[in-house]
Amino acid sequence: MGERDERRKGTGDFESKGAILIIDDDRNHARGSADVLESVGYSCDVATGGREGLEMLQRRQYDLVLTDLVMGDVDGMEILRRAQEINPFVAVIVFTGHGTIENAVEALKKGAVDYLVKPLDIDGLRIRVQKALERQELVKINRDLERRLDRRFGFGGIIGNSESMRKMIDLCQQIAETDVAVLISGENGTGKELIARAIHENSLRKKRPLVPLNCAALSPQLVESELFGHEKGAFTGATFQKKGRFEYADNGTLFLDEVGDIPLETQVKLLRVLEGGEITRVGSNEPIKVNVRIISATNRSIEKLIEEGRFREDLYYRLKVVPIHLAPLRERRQDIPLLVDHFIKDFSRIYKKAITGIEREALNVLTSYSWPGNVRELKHAIENMVVVSRGNSLTLDNLPESIYRSERKPSPDFNSLAGISLKEVEKILIRNTLSQTGGNRQEAAKILGIGERTLYRKLKTYQLS
Ligand SMILES: Nc1ncnc2c1ncn2[C@@H]1O[C@H](COP(=O)(O)OP(=O)(O)OP(=O)(O)O)[C@@H](O)[C@H]1O
Ligand SMILES: [Mg+2]
């Protein structure tokens, strides 16, 4: 390799119109093309042969790859496949001899942007490379716009503007297009499945299915045959051959819900599959290759299950390459008004009502409630309110009884106080406040909004101790 080649290799950060990799068995031919393209400002690397080409693809991010289709070691179709795998935005142009146009057509079907027939004509090469890069740039800009629109209108329908939700959505956007395993944790109803779907919908696998499996709902034997499938007669009751979820999810995403409930013996097998990329149906010896991205979810602490010896630590690390934690709704109350608004719109459309909002007092109750069932409970509450509402705004009267009552509990029942003297009320209030503070007078005075000395005096007057 010449000095010039050495200097260019692995750089890619100096100003150029684009980084190009040229792969051709015929070194002179490749070098000739590189010279033409460098003379108009591109930065070119040359690989003499497919294997060297693959290595160089791993080392540097290229905007465009020019590859011969027919080569001795690794052919151009393989280069095309790998180049796209490494960088979905790469433009690949293939060269072909006169006799092999059909191969070029095949390459176009597999995602090559153009093909050139050898021997190359200098002007043709320059123009086609420029066109391919311009087109690729447009694809990128489009993608970027889509992503920004997504951010503006939420990511996969996830509502939330609290700091923790914004961080979580940013992280999801960053990792959606990769194949890393994601483990989503959070209490019931915090939106784990919603997030899993959003990640899949924003991934390069979105045209293939997201296949869910709720691991808690199945017996140990069933978990295994659901995951990996089984052959006819593999166990009593296996009257048909059956494909497993891994096979259905091939090139897509497998969503393992309640992953903490997978039995230990299945965990070993699952780990082996994740490491080897192959499954074996129950009752078979035939391994089947699968390409599946795993997203799992849990509302239990897997760390605790590990301590108790009920979950394998090695599997845990495989599953949580990217951990995502969803905070309970009571820890991100800023999201409540947004969610309320969102669900009001949804349900008034579904139930054909003209409800446009919610009264302040009712919203106050909703934002201060503890929401043990998180967003799911809130969603049901709003659905309820929309159904019973008669006006065009939700009111305190529409609140579900359980939420209304829990809110009213700490406040005094003023109605039953009517008919008593102010002095008597004061006495009751002081006594109750002291019992609430456990006899702490300083704190009681603060709550009552009076000085400590005033409180002493009143205690004496009312003969309270
Ligand atoms: N941030 C959010 N924005 C909009 N809708 C949400 C949000 N979070 C949750 N939801 C809605 O709340 C409901 C419950 O969400 P989801 O089923 O994803 O929760 P989960 O964490 O998987 O619950 P579980 O642990 O019970 O399985 C769904 O209808 C979902 O669409
Ligand atoms: Mg769920």
The CATH code of the domain that includes 63 is 3.40.50.2300
Give tens-digit pLDDT for 166-223.
999 999 999 999 999 999 999 999 999 999 999 999 999 999 999 999 998 888 888 9
Is residue 309 packed enough to be buried (19+ CB in 10 Å), middle (13-18) or exposed (0-12)? exposed
Arithmetic mean of pLDDT, 152-165: 81
Q: What pLDDT shows up at residue 154?
A: 59
pLDDT digits (tens, 9 = 90+) for 282-319: 999 999 999 999 999 999 999 999 999 999 999 999 99
Residue 81 has pLDDT above 80, yes or no: yes
Average pLDDT over residues 249-267: 95
Alpha-carbon span 84 to 106, nearest angstrom: 15
Could you tell me if the CB of 186 is within 6 A of ligand 1? Answer: yes
Does the structure show a pLDDT above 80 at 148?
no
**Rounded Cα–Cα distance for residues 158 and 382 (Å):** 17
Token pair 């001899």: residue: 97
Q: 293 near 181, Cβ under 8 Å?
A: yes
Residue 313 and residue 168 share a domain: yes
> Can you tell me the distance from the alpha carbon of 378 to that of 178, in angstroms, rounded to the nearest whole number?
33
Lowest mean pLDDT among 5-14, 166-175, 361-370, 419-428: 5-14
> Which ligand has the minimum distance to the alpha carbon of residue 193?
1
Per-residue pLDDT averaged across 2-11, rounded?
39
Domain boundary among 283, 302, 327: 327
pLDDT at 22 over 90: yes
Binned at pLDDT 50, 70 and 90, residue 464 comes out as confident
SS3 170: helix
- Atom index in ligand 1 nearest the CA of residue 342 equals 4
Structure tokens that stand for 402 in this block = 């359980």
Radius of gyration of the chain, Cα coordinates, nearest whole angstrom? 33
Same domain, yes or no, for 201 and 302?
yes
Q: How far is the CA of 39 from the centre of ligand 2 (A)?
A: 58
Helices (H) and strands (E) in the chain, counts: 20, 16
Residue 152, in any domain of the structure: no
Transcribe 330-388 into DSSP letters. Answer: GG-TTHHHHHHHHHHHHHHHHTT----EE-HHHHHHHHHS--TTHHHHHHHHHHHHHHH
Are 89 and 173 part of one and the same domain?
no
Number of domains making up the chain: 4
Please tell me if the CB atom of residue 31 comes closer than 6 angstroms to any atom of ligand 1. no
Cα distances (Å, whole numbers) of residue 168 to 123, 177, 191, 346 = 49, 15, 12, 24
CATH no. for residue 447? 1.10.10.60
In a domain, 157, yes or no: no
| 64 inside domain | yes
In a domain, residue 156? The reply is: no
Q: Residue 366: give the domain boundaries.
A: 331-408
Specify whether the CB–CB gap between 5 and 46 falls below 8 A.
Answer: yes
Together in a domain, 128 and 266? no
The rounded distance, in Å, linking the Cα atoms of 213 and 217 is 9
Q: Could you say which ligand is closest to the alpha carbon of residue 186?
A: 1
**CA 167 to centroid of ligand 2, rounded, Å:** 21
Cα gap 384→376, rounded to integer Å: 12
**Which of 327, 345, 366 lies at the terminal end of a domain, its last residue?**
327
Residue with the smallest CA separation from ligand 1 atom 29 is 376
**Do 80 and 111 form a contact (C-beta atoms < 8 A)?**
yes
Q: Ranked by mean pLDDT, which of 126-140, 144-158, 189-203 comes out on top?
A: 189-203
Q: Within this chain, do residues 284 and 347 fall inside the same structural domain, yes or no?
A: no
Residue 159 in contact with ligand 1 by CB distance below 6 A: yes
| Choice between 124 and 436, residue whose per-residue pLDDT is larger | 124
Q: How many whole angstroms from 331 Cα to the centroid of ligand 2?
A: 19
139 and 12 inside one domain: yes
Q: Which of 327, 354, 386 is the last residue of a domain?
A: 327
Q: Which ligand is nearest to the CA of 188?
A: 1
Report angle CA 280, 284, 290 to the nearest 5 degrees.
Answer: 25
Helix (H, G, I), strand (E, B) or coil at 231: coil
Range with lowest mean pLDDT among 53-57, 120-124, 328-332, 381-385: 120-124
Assigned domain for 256 exists: yes
Within-domain flag for 263: yes
135 and 173, same domain (yes or no): no
Share of the chain above pLDDT 90, in %: 57
Q: Which residues surround ligand 2, an ion (CB under 5 A)?
A: 192-193
Angle between helices 122-152 and 27-39 (to 10 degrees): 70
**CATH value at residue 216:** 3.40.50.300
Tell whether 278 and 373 lie within a shared domain. no
The CB of 189 under 6 Å from ligand 1? The reply is: yes
Q: Which of 49-53, 110-114, 310-314 has the lowest mean pLDDT?
A: 110-114
Q: Is 260 in the pocket of ligand 1 (CB under 6 A)?
A: no
Query: Across 1-113, where does the E strand assignment appear?
Result: 19-23, 43-47, 64-68, 91-96
65 in Cβ contact with 57 (< 8 Å): yes
Q: What is the structure's pLDDT at 85?
A: 80
Model pLDDT, residue 87? 78
Question: Could you give the percent of the chain with pLDDT greater than 70?
Answer: 91
Distance of alpha carbon 52 from alpha carbon 46, whole angstroms: 9
Q: Is 298 in the pocket of ligand 1 (CB under 6 A)?
A: no
Structure tokens at 366: 């909703």
